[in-house]
Chains A and B, each alone.
Chain A
Amino acid sequence: MKELSLNILDIAENSVKAGAANVSLTIRESDTRLTFTVTDDGCGMTADFLARVTDPFCTTRKTRRVGLGLPFLKLMAEQTGGSMAITSRAQTEHPDDHGTTTTAIFCKDHIDCLPLGDIVSTVLTLIQGNPQMNFTFRHELPGGGVVELSTAELRGVLGDGVSLAAPEIILWMREYLTGAYHENQ
């Protein structure tokens, strides 16, 4: 992975796979630190699976017996002096309150810290692939500004007839987010 936003996309896809209806991505940035959190209400993991989940030979996929998403993220965070943590409640054990939260902390001034990169494309890719999902994005910038987007809010404006995955809507969202970042510069 060449940018942190690609790791973020990869990790958020786990929430999609977990069947989550609500996913939120929060990025908090200071001058020296970047922390991101992905929270979902998907099927979650049992304590046993959670303990093995950063092992590359632990995977849910059927095409081959390696899974590199979480091991990659852990490596990326730790090589900057940061860390990664996952908490999860499995649906099988907690039918009314389940889901997963993944948090990664990066020390931005470390030479091995990758740039955040094109986070707007990551957000749009997630919405394009899962237009029915409630997705909230919040980025707290080092200068105190905030860039936000909520698909539930946009759906309220658009109504049921128009999919958030429609290319025209995706284009509008790109311009909206790019504009919001410009205003906060």
Chain B
Amino acid sequence: MKSLAELIAIRDKMQSKVNIRENLGSMRIVVGMATCGIAAGARPVLNAFVEGIAKEGLTDKATVVQTGCIGICQYEPVVEVYEGEEKTTYIKMTAEKVAKVIDQHIKNGKIVTEFTIGAQK
């Protein structure tokens, strides 16, 4: 069983980094979590991003946020990655695809073209 003491230790470790963090976090990962997204499997996609980012130590680089219906329900689960003005839309996402997006796009800045809406036939 996890204890609150461990939570306090995590907090102390995070607070020492807070000042650095305010200047970074340039990437925003937005996951659609309306009825359409949830029914199509958005919950494991969101959790894969949150936990993948924590495990890979990318919390200074990217933040994960949720939104409502993006309007393209047939392509859910939909994930949008924002870097400044640039937006990449990934469609029909799964937890397995998330691992690849984190590894190539979030870590190394290389868009995984095959998962984007532009690759849809």
Cβ of B10 within 8 Å of any chain A Cβ, yes or no, is yes
Contacts of A64 in B (CB 8 A): 71, 73
Q: Is the interface of B mostly helix, strand, loop or mixed?
A: helix
| Assembly CA distance A86 to B71 (angstroms) | 27
Q: Which 4 A-B pairs have the closest CB atoms?
A: A167-B54, A129-B66, A176-B2, A179-B1
Q: Which of A6-14, A19-27, A103-111 contacts B (4 or more CB under 8 A)?
A: A6-14
- Whether B8 and A157, one on each chain, are in contact in the complex, defined by CB atoms closer than 8 angstroms, is yes
* Interface hits, A146-180 → B, CB 8 Å: 154, 157-159, 161-162, 165-172, 174-176, 179-180
Can you list 27 A-B pairs with a CB-CB distance of less than 8 A? A1-B39, A6-B39, A6-B43, A13-B34, A13-B38, A61-B68, A61-B69, A63-B71, A72-B35, A72-B39, A121-B47, A124-B47, A125-B47, A158-B7, A162-B11, A162-B18, A167-B50, A167-B54, A168-B14, A168-B59, A172-B6, A172-B7, A172-B10, A174-B51, A175-B2, A176-B2, A179-B1
Q: Mark A106-130, 1 if CB is under 8 A from B, else 0.
A: 0000000000001001101100110
Counting contact residues on chain A (CB < 8 A from B), the size range is 35 or more
Q: Which residues of B contact A (CB under 8 A)?
A: 1-2, 4, 6-8, 10-11, 13-15, 18, 33-35, 38-39, 43-44, 46-47, 50-51, 53-55, 59, 64-66, 68-71, 73
- Whether A167 and B53, one on each chain, are in contact in the complex, defined by CB atoms closer than 8 angstroms, is yes
Interface contacts beyond A121-B47, A125-B43, A168-B14: sample of 20 additional A-B pairs, CB < 8 Å, sorted by A? A9-B38, A13-B33, A13-B34, A63-B71, A121-B43, A121-B44, A125-B33, A125-B47, A128-B50, A158-B7, A159-B11, A162-B11, A162-B14, A165-B64, A168-B54, A170-B50, A171-B54, A174-B51, A176-B1, A179-B2
Contacts of B68 in A (CB 8 A): 17, 61
Q: Output the nearest chain A residue to B70 by Cβ-Cβ distance.
A: A63
Contacts of B53 in A (CB 8 A): 167
| Assembly CA distance A122 to B42 (angstroms) | 11
| Assembly CA distance A169 to B71 (angstroms) | 31
